[in-house]
Structure 1
Amino acid sequence: MTPVERFRELLSVPTVSRADPAEVDDDAFVLFRATLERLYPLTHAHLEREVVAGHSLLYRWRGASPEAPLLLLAHQDVVPVDGQSWRHDPFAADVEGEGADATIHARGAIDDKGALVAVFEAVEEALSEGVVPRTDVWLAFGHDEETRGTGARAMARILAERGVRPALVLDEGGAVVDGAVPGVAAPTAMIGVAERGVATFDLVTREAGGHASTPPPMPATARLARAVDRLRRRPFPRRLAPPVHAMLATAAAHVAEPLASAFRRPRLSAPLLTAVLSALGPETNALVRTTAVVTRLEGSPGDNVLATTARASVNVRLLTGDTLADAAIHLRRAVRDPLVDIELRHGDDPSPVSPWRGASWRRLSRAVADALGDDVVPLPYLQLGASDSRFYTGLTDAVYRFAPFHLTRSERDALHAPDERIRVDVWLRGIRFYGALLRS
Structure 2
Amino acid sequence: MATSVDRFRELLRIPTVSHADETLTDWARFSEFEAALERLYPATHEHLTREVIDSHSLLYRWPGVTSIEPLVLMAHIDVVPVVESEWTHAPFGAEIIGEGAQAEIHGRGTIDDKGSLVAIFEAVEQLCAEGYVPQHDIYLAFGHNEEIAGSGAQALVAELRERGIRPALVLDEGGAVVQDVVPGVTAPTAMVGVAERGVMTLLLTASEGGGHASTPPAMPATARLARAIDRLRRRPFPTRLASPVRAMLTTLAPHAPQPLRGLFGSLGLTGPLVAAAFSRFGPEMNAIVRTTAVATELSGAPGENVLATSARASVNVRLLTGDSVASATQRVRRVINDPNVDVTVRHGSDPSPVSPWRGEAWRRISSAVSISLGDEIVTTPYLQLGASDSRWFTAISDHVYRFTPFHLTRAERDALHSHNERIRVEVWLRGIGFYRALIEAS
Normalising by structure 2, what TM-score? 0.97
Answer whether contact 1:71 1:140 (CA < 8 A) is retained.
Answer: yes
Q: Is the 8 A contact 1:299 1:310 kept in 2?
A: yes
For structure 1, list consecutive stretches of 5 or more residues without a partner in the other structure.
none
Q: Distance in 2 between matches of 1:97 and 1:213?
A: 59
- 1:212 maps to which residue? 213
Provide the C-alpha distance between the structure 2 equivalents of 1:211 and 1:148, rounded to a whole number of angstroms: 40
Match of 1:164 in 2: 165
Q: Who is 1:350 aligned against?
A: 351
Segment drifting more, 204-213 vs 364-373:
204-213
Residue of structure 2 equivalent to 1:148: 149
In the alignment, structure 1 residue 273 sits paired with structure 2 residue 274? yes
Corresponding residue for residue 75 of structure 2: 74
Query: Is the CA contact (8 Å cut-off) linking 2:146 and 2:153 kept in structure 1?
Result: yes
User: How big is each residue's C-alpha offset from its partner over 1:130-159, in whole Å with a ceiling of 9 and x where there is no partner?
Assistant: 110000000110011111231000101111
Q: Give the Cα–Cα distance (whole angstroms) in 1 for the partners of residues 25 and 422 of structure 2.
A: 24
AA partner of residue 351 (structure 1): S
- 1:132 maps to amino acid: V
Instruction: Please give the alpha-carbon distance, in whole angstroms, between the structure 1 residues aligned to 2:396 and 2:319.
Output: 22
CA–CA distance in structure 1, aligned partners of residues 227 and 96 of structure 2: 47
- Once the two structures are superposed, the pairs formed by residues 319-330 of structure 1 within 5 Å of their partners are 319-330=320-331
Tell me the CA shift for residue 205 of structure 1.
1.2
Deviation string 1:12-63 (CA, Å, 9 cap, x unpaired) is: 1111111111111111111111111111111112111111111111111111
Give the corresponding residue for 1:35.
36
The alpha carbon displacement at 1:84 in A equals 5.9
Amino acid in the other structure paired with 1:59: Y
Q: Tell me the SS of whatever aligns to 2:361.
A: helix
What SS does structure 2 have at the residue aligned with 1:267?
helix
Task: Count how many residue pairs are aligned between Structure 1 and Structure 2.
Answer: 440
- Pair 1:254 & 2:275 matched: no
Q: Does 1:371 align with 2:372?
A: yes
Aligned partner of 1:223 in structure 2 is: 224
Amino acid aligned to 1:425: E
Q: Is the 8 A contact 1:197 1:386 kept in 2?
A: yes
| AA matched with 2:292 | T
What corresponds to 1:313 in structure 2?
314
Kindly indicate whether the alpha-carbon contact (under 8 Å) linking 1:197 and 1:350 is maintained by their aligned counterparts in 2: yes
User: Partner residue of 2:58?
Assistant: 57
Question: Which one-letter code corresponds to 2:197 in the other structure?
Answer: R
| 8 A Cα contact 1:404 1:430, kept in partner | yes
Q: Tell me how far apart the structure 2 counterparts of residues 402 and 425 of structure 1 sit (CA, whole Å).
A: 18
Contact 2:198 2:320 in 1 (8 A): yes
**DSSP-derived class of the 1:274 partner:** helix
Q: Tell me, what secondary structure is at the counterpart of 2:148?
A: coil
Instruction: Tell me how far 1:82 sits from its aligned partner.
Output: 3.5
Q: Which sits farther off after the overlay, 206-215 or 93-102? A: 206-215
Separation of aligned partners in 1, 2:303 and 2:27: 34
Q: Which stretch of structure 1 is more off in the superposition, 248-257 or 168-177?
A: 248-257
Is residue 2:117 matched to residue 1:116?
A: yes
Q: Distance in 1 between matches of 2:19 and 2:301?
A: 24
CA distance in 2, matches of 1:346, 1:84: 33
Cα distance in 1 for partners of 2:437, 2:196 equals 25
Question: How far apart, CA to CA, are the structure 1 residues paired with 2:148 and 2:179?
Answer: 30
- Contact map agreement 1:245 1:267 (CA 8 A) in 2: no
Q: How does 1:161-240 map to 2 (within 5 A)?
A: 161-240=162-241
2:47 pairs with 1:46: yes
Provide structure 2 residue ranges, at least 5 long, that are not aligned to the other structure. none
Compute the displacement of 1:345 (Å): 0.6
Greater shift in the superposed pair: 316-325 or 222-231: 222-231
Identical pairs, percent: 64
User: Mapping of 1:385-396 within 5 angstroms?
Assistant: 385-396=386-397
Distance in 1, matches of 2:221 and 2:145, equals 35
Amino acid at match of 1:76: I
- Asked whether the 8 Å contact 1:240–1:267 carries over to 2, the reply is no
- The alignment yields a C-alpha RMSD, in angstroms, of 1.2
Q: What residue identity is the alignment partner of 1:194?
A: A
C-alpha contact 2:240 2:276 (8 A) present in aligned 1:
no
Mapped contact 2:192–2:401 kept (Cα < 8 A): yes
Question: How many Å separate the matches in 2 of 1:164 and 1:65?
Answer: 12
Return the alpha-carbon distance in structure 1 between the equivalents of residues 281 and 36 of structure 2.
Answer: 43
CA contact (8 A) 1:84 1:418 kept: no
User: 1:103 maps to which residue?
Assistant: 104
1:83: how far off?
Answer: 7.1
Structure 1 residue 260, shift from structure 2 partner: 2.3
Q: In 2, Cα distance between the equivalents of 1:287 and 1:186?
A: 20
Whether the 8 Å contact between 2:84 and 2:90 is mirrored in structure 1 is: no
In structure 2, distance between residues paired with 1:191 and 1:283? 16
Rounded to whole Å, the distance in 2 between the matches of 1:209 and 1:59 is 57
Show CA shifts across 1:71-119 (max 9, x none).
Answer: 0110011111147611111111111101100011111110111101100
Normalising by the residue count of structure 1, what TM-score does the alignment of the two structures yield? 0.98
Matched position secondary structure for 1:381 = strand
User: Deviations along 1:377-409, whole A, 9 cap, x unmatched?
Assistant: 001000000000000001111100000000000
SS at match of 2:406: strand
Write the distance in 1 (CA, Å) between the matches of 2:65 and 2:16: 35
Q: Deviations over 1:292-337 (max 9, x none)?
A: 1111111222233322221111110000000001110121122121
Query: Cα deviation per residue 1:341-395 (whole Å; 9 max; x = unaligned)?
Result: 1110111100011000110111000000000000000010000000000000011
Cα contact 2:149–2:389 (8 A) shared by 1 = no
Aligned partner of residue 118 in structure 1, secondary structure = helix
Deviation of 1:285 (Å): 0.8
Give 1:208 shift.
Answer: 2.2
User: Per-residue deviation at 1:182?
Assistant: 2.4
Distance 2:150 2:124 in 1: 25
Deviation readout 1:137-185 (Å, 9 max, x if unpaired): 0011001111123100010111111111111000000000001222322
What is the CA–CA distance in structure 1 between the aligned matches of 2:10 and 2:304, rounded to whole Å? 46
